[in-house]
């Protein structure tokens, strides 16, 4: 009886470990698939670039830079992509993040589409890439921008804080 109980405890433990390992493997596979879709949609290699998503009181920003300052191909591709993204988002078109993340509508985008006239998208060329500032004076729009950027932080696993801060 004692051995049966020990066997059941160990079996339960091992099943839990295996389930956790399966979940980790599945999450890694989903991240890898997202990165492959992202490379195709964005037009540059995610392994040669770094994404940042910042939250500010007015909204936030998306920033992508080439890891190597001499990698002008990636820098140029980033600049072209983010300039295109700023225009698409301003038109209420969030097709790129839908394709990259393989989701219906990332959090916040329905509201950002509805309030697109209340949101400003400002493209900025950087020496190693580009940035898009997203801002609004409308509280509902700002909340939606924050939801969208928090989703990006989580999905891209960038490690930026998900609380609102002043950003350069």
Q: Could you report the per-residue pLDDT of 14-28, keeping only the tens digit for each?
A: 455 445 555 545 444
Q: What is the pLDDT of residue 101?
A: 43
Domain span at residue 109 reads 2-156
Q: Which of these, 70, 68, 51, lies nearest to 60 by C-alpha position?
A: 51
Q: In the prediction, which pLDDT does 10 show? A: 43
pLDDT band for 135, please (50, 70, 90 cuts). Answer: very high
In a domain, 69, yes or no: yes
In a domain, 162, yes or no: no
Check: CB of residue 124 under 8 Å from CB of residue 133: yes
What confidence score (pLDDT) does residue 131 get?
98
Q: What residue has token string 């890891």?
A: 67
What's the pLDDT band for 47 if we cut at 50, 70, 90? confident
Euclidean distance between CA atoms 79 and 85, whole angstroms? 10
Looking at the structure of the chain, the number of domains it has is: 1
Is 115 a member of any domain?
yes
Domain annotation covers residue 18 = yes
Query: Does residue 166 sit within a domain?
Result: no
In a domain? residue 168: no
**Per-residue pLDDT, 34:** 47
The contacts found for 29-38 with CB under 8 angstroms, 24 or more apart, are 31/157, 33/102, 34/100, 34/101, 34/102, 34/155, 37/99, 37/100, 37/101, 37/102, 38/100
pTM of the full predicted structure? 0.73
- Indicate whether 99 belongs to any domain: yes
CA distance 113 to 95: 11
Average confidence score pLDDT of the chain = 80
Would 164 be classed as within a structural domain?
A: no
Structure token pair of residue 157:
């696993």
């Amino acid at each position: 009886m004692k051995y049966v109980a020990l066997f059941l405890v160990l079996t339960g433990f091992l099943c839990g470990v295996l389930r956790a390992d399966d979940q980790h493997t599945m999450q890694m596979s989903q991240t890898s698939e997202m990165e492959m879709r992202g490379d195709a949609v964005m037009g540059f290699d995610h392994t040669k670039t770094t994404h940042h998503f910042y939250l500010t009181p007015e909204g936030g920003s998306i920033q992508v830079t080439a890891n190597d300052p001499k990698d002008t191909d990636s820098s140029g591709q980033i600049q072209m992509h983010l300039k295109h993204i700023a225009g698409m988002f301003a038109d209420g078109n969030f097709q790129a993040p839908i394709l990259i993340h393989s989701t219906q509508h990332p959090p916040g985008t329905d509201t950002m589409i509805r309030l697109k006239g209340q949101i400003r998208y400002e493209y900025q060329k950087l020496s190693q890439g580009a940035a898009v500032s997203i801002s609004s004076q409308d509280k509902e729009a700002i909340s939606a921008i924050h939801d969208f950027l928090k989703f990006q932080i989580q999905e891209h696993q960038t490690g930026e804080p998900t609380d609102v801060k002043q950003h350069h």
